[in-house]
Structure 1
């Protein structure tokens, strides 16, 4: 999980390991969360599947920034 402060919010990018078959490498589902003053503002659903944990986390952060920009 990666987090950062953006505008007046704390944003989080999450990577959830998805392993459908033990013989295949796992992929990561991305999601994002936005909080402010320790209160949940918004959370995404699954944003997509990515090959690496970092790619998924970055996608979650990107979603959170875009949400804040469009609701500010």
Structure 2
């Protein structure tokens, strides 16, 4: 998970391990959560599958920044 402050919001980029078969490479799904103070403002769904946890978390943060830019 990665977090950052953006404008007056806290953004959370999540990476969730998805491994259906032990013989297949690890995959991570990404998602994002936006909070302001202690309240959840918006949550993405699954944003896609990624090869690394870092890529998944960064996709979550990108979704959050786009949401804030369009709604903030």
User: Normalised by the shorter chain, which TM-score bucket?
Assistant: over 0.9
Distance in 1 separating the partners of 2:62 and 2:49: 14
Measured in 2, the distance between the counterparts of 1:39 and 1:15 equals 21
- TM-score of the pair, normalised by structure 2: 0.98
Which segments of 5 or more consecutive residues in structure 2 lack a partner in the other structure? Answer: none
SS at match of 2:46: coil
Q: Equivalent residue of 2:69, what SS?
A: helix
Q: How many equivalent pairs are there?
A: 72
Runs of 4+ in 1 over 6 A off after TM superposition: none
Q: Deviations over 1:23-72 (max 9, x none)?
A: 11110000000000110000000000000000000000000000000012
2-structure distance, mates of 1:16, 1:58: 12
2:54 matched residue in structure 1: 54
Q: Where does structure 1 lack aligned partners over 5 or more consecutive residues? A: none
